[in-house]
Each structure stands twice: as C-alpha cells, then as structure tokens.
Amino acid sequence: MNGRYFVVFAFLMLINSVSMQSVHVVNANLGHSVILPCTANHRTLTVYWRYNDSKTVFDIIKGEVKFDEQDPVYKGRVGCFPLEFAKGNFSIKLSKLKKSDVGIYTCHFPSTLTPGTVQLRVTENRTGDVMRRPDSLLLFLLGCVLLSN
C-alpha cells in the first residue's frame, strides 16, 4: 500500500473508532435487568429517553419523572437514580428484559441536537444447553467405544 493511502486509511479508521465510542453497546440476559447509561455534559434536569426514536421509555422533566407518555411496554419496568441527577447522570434501569427490548435507546436533552445512544442486546442464558451438548456427545462416543469392545 502506498504511504499516502495508508495515512488516509489510518485516519478513516481513527474517525470510525471515535464515532463508534459514542454508542454504548450493552449486553444483558433475558429476564434480568440492565443499566442504560446517559450522562449530560451541561446543566440540565430534563431528559427524554426514547426507544428506536419512536416509543417513549422514560421522561424526566425538571428533575421529576413523568409517566404520562410512557409506552405501556415499559410500565413498571424502568427506574432512575434521582440522587445522581445533580451529577448529570440520567442513567435508567430497565428490568425483566424481553426479547423485544432489543434496539436503540437514546437520551435526548432539550438544548443539544445529538442524543446519547445506547444499543441494547438481549442474550438468552443458554450456558446450560451448550454445556449439556458436548457431555451427551461424549457419553454417546463412550457408549460406542464400550459396545464395540
């Protein structure tokens, strides 16, 4: 690769990694709870949490939680940390995770155009299944060896 192209390539990779950092990827287990992080870098007490830029997850208006517009899917499953508001921490806790919770969560501030973005992935805890399969395969093979003798 020509040196000049390499510099351009390295620069593009750098831009890519920097822009990637602004999206938090959060993995959580089905049925468990998860904290979706959001921090304000300016003074505010109003934050709108949205799912896939459509459903209302949670609204904090002038430091108070408003449930008026919350989508029924999130009813009773979202909590926040009011003691953290003064520090600009508007993270929320989403409980009893469902498969359908997978998607993009954004926290919008009235005075800024770019929202905080969290990508939630929900994984099923299949550790048990994965562990069992090699075991039964091993037993099957062992059985074959014993039978063939």
The contact set with ligand NAG (CB under 6 A) reads: 29, 35, 39, 52, 81, 84, 89, 91, 102-104, 125, 127-128
- Measured from the CB of residue 141, what is the shortest distance to ligand NAG in angstroms? 26
**Hey, what are 56's tokens?**
């209302």
Chain position whose Cβ is nearest to ligand NAG: 103
The distance of closest approach from Cβ of residue 57 to ligand NAG in the complex, given in angstroms and rounded to an integer, is: 12
From CA 4, how far away is CA 86, in angstroms rounded? 48
CB of 12 to ligand NAG, least distance (A): 24
**Given the complex with ligand NAG, which of 39 and 112 has the nearer CB atom?**
39
Given the complex with ligand NAG, which of 52 and 112 has the nearer CB atom?
52
Which is closer to ligand NAG, CB of 13 or CB of 25?
25
Q: Report the residue count for the chain.
A: 149
Alpha helix segments (H runs only) across the chain: 3-21, 127-148
- Smaller CB distance to ligand NAG: residue 26 or 35? 35
Instruction: Note whether 13 and 63 are within 8 A (CB).
Output: no
Cα distance between residue 90 and residue 81, in whole Å = 7
Single out the residue of 40, 33, 32, 76 nearest to residue 58, CA to CA.
Answer: 76
Whether the Cβ atoms of residue 63 and residue 85 lie closer than 8 Å to each other: yes
Minimum CB separation from ligand NAG for residue 53, in Å?
A: 9
Smallest gap, in angstroms, from Cβ of residue 13 to ligand NAG? 24
